[in-house]
Amino acid sequence: MNANERHYFLLHRMIRVHSRSFAVWLLMVEIAQAAPFVINSAGNQVNGSAIQSAADGTILLTTLNEQTLTFRPGTYRLAFADKPKEMFQVDALVKQKNLAAVVQILLLVKEEYKFLGWDQRAGLMLARVYLPLKQFENSAREYEELFAARPKFKTVPKERANYMQALLGTGRLAEVAKMIDEDIASGSREAAARAQVVRGDMKTASGQIEEALLDYLRTAILFRAQTAVLPEATYKTAVALKTLNDPRATEYFQKVINDFPESEYAEKAKKGVE
């Protein structure tokens, strides 16, 4: 498998990867840089040295022998540009946790690289980064655009859970409840685990702390194989216990610190035991 083929393959796998910290998690949508290419309607990859897109989706690819090939909408499956220089700035800004600056760059990339792969990748990153900024309407909008363009993204448990968090933040509770029921009944252990955490968040938001605690605890105890979900479930268990003035809160905060030291929740847990 050559570099461009890996590039194409990893694009379709990138949203299945989960990380241990917020910065790494956000950057996991990054993949190896490669030369521009087009996958034509027959499924063949055409490599190039430069690529452009028009507003109507037409792609102009300069081939390695300096010919210009035109691919109109319907005549290609995928077009991809090499990594925009702006994305190297994003790498550094995420590590600095300068999320407001990250948003501005991603919005630029999304607009300038429309139809060239990076628009959807920037959209996914925007959907994610808007959540810690509590810009829930923006996050929901980005997810909805992404789901419309790539429906399979909506079947990924992590992205569904993020989308539910965005909907929860905008008050679209009926939609969240429906998705929770779907995920719990889906047969996917990860989807069910994440859905239970979101259900706990719904109850927390309505002041039902004891009921929320049961959802978090149930996830932490019964879904131990879902290691990507455990840090969040364990941390939220600790927070709920602390809210209820239950002394076991310290035990669960410490569990996050000890068992998931590289997760984004470890830093939060340290503050919980101070």
Residue 164 has pLDDT above 80, yes or no: yes
Separation CA 141–CA 131 (nearest Å): 12
Residues 249-269: pLDDT tens digits? 999 999 999 999 999 999 999
Contact 184, 195 (CB under 8 A): yes
Separation CA 24–CA 96 (nearest Å): 12
The pLDDT confidence band at residue 2, using thresholds 50, 70 and 90, is very low
Residue 39 has pLDDT above 70, yes or no: yes
pTM: 0.81
59-63 vs 45-53, strand pairing mode: antiparallel
pLDDT at res. 34 = 65
Residues 168-191: pLDDT tens digits? 999 999 999 999 999 999 999 999
Residues 121-156: pLDDT tens digits? 999 999 999 999 999 999 999 999 999 998 999 999
> Which domains occur in the chain, in start order?
3-133 (2.30.30.100), 165-272 (1.25.40.10)
Please give the full DSSP string across 191-221, using - where no structure is assigned.
HHHHHHHHHHHHHHHTT-HHHHHHHHHHHHH
pLDDT at res. 179 = 97
Closest by CA to 8, choosing from 84, 81, 113, is 81
Mean pLDDT of the chain: 88
Separation CA 77–CA 59 (nearest Å): 11
Tokens of 38: 């087009």
76: phi > 0 → left, psi -120 to 50 → alpha, else beta; which?
Answer: beta
Please give the full DSSP string across 43-101, using - where no structure is assigned.
S-EEEEEEEEE-TTS-EEEEETTS-EEEE-TTSEEEEEPPPPHHHHHHHHHHHTT-HHH
pLDDT at res. 97 = 85
